[in-house]
Amino acid sequence: MGLLPSARVDARYAELADLRLASTLTDEDAREEAELDPFDRITCRTHRRWLHQCVSSPHHAVPVSGHRWCRPCARPLDAAVDELAGDVRFSCPRCGQTPDNRATRQLTRACRASIAAAADRWPDRDLCA
Ligand SMILES: [Zn+2]
Ligand SMILES: [Zn+2]
């Protein structure tokens, strides 16, 4: 594997085993201070993980913004992450719907990007069936 595009790692992520994750966290923290929308991040500052690895946590259900949230039912959406397919699905445990709104689309997009970025850690892994 070649050199990482940016191997700069903040001290608070220095002990993470996954250098690519640590580097991406560092990069997104810095960009978030400038212009990056926190909901466009593919890493999680709070959990220090790839987004899809902790999106099921209560911290990622945000009633104010509508992220991972069913407004009609006023409850968090369930997250189904399929790392092999590179996809994620959010649905409400009560009404069964996936909200058709900007927040849900944004979170879905960020999770797909997070799965793809994390999968690059294993360039030799054979994903072919
Ligand atoms: Zn998180
Ligand atoms: Zn619902």
Burial of 77 from C-beta contacts in 10 A (0-12 / 13-18 / 19+): buried
Distance 69 CA to ligand 2 centre (A): 8
Structure tokens at 69: 């949230």
Bridge partners, residue 44, by sequence:
49
The domain segmentation of the chain, as residue ranges, is 11-119
Structure tokens at 115: 């799965």
Bridge partners, residue 38, by sequence:
none
Distance 101 CA to ligand 1 centre (A): 21
Distance 76 CA to ligand 2 centre (A): 8
Task: Note the pTM of the prediction, 2 decimals.
Answer: 0.87
The answer to whether residue 67 scores a pLDDT higher than 80 is yes
Coil, strand, or helix at residue 126? coil
Structure tokens at 88: 């994620």
Ligand closest in space to the Cα of 110:
1
Distance 78 CA to ligand 1 centre (A): 15
Q: What is the pLDDT of residues 26-50, one digit of tens each?
A: 999 999 999 999 999 999 999 999 9
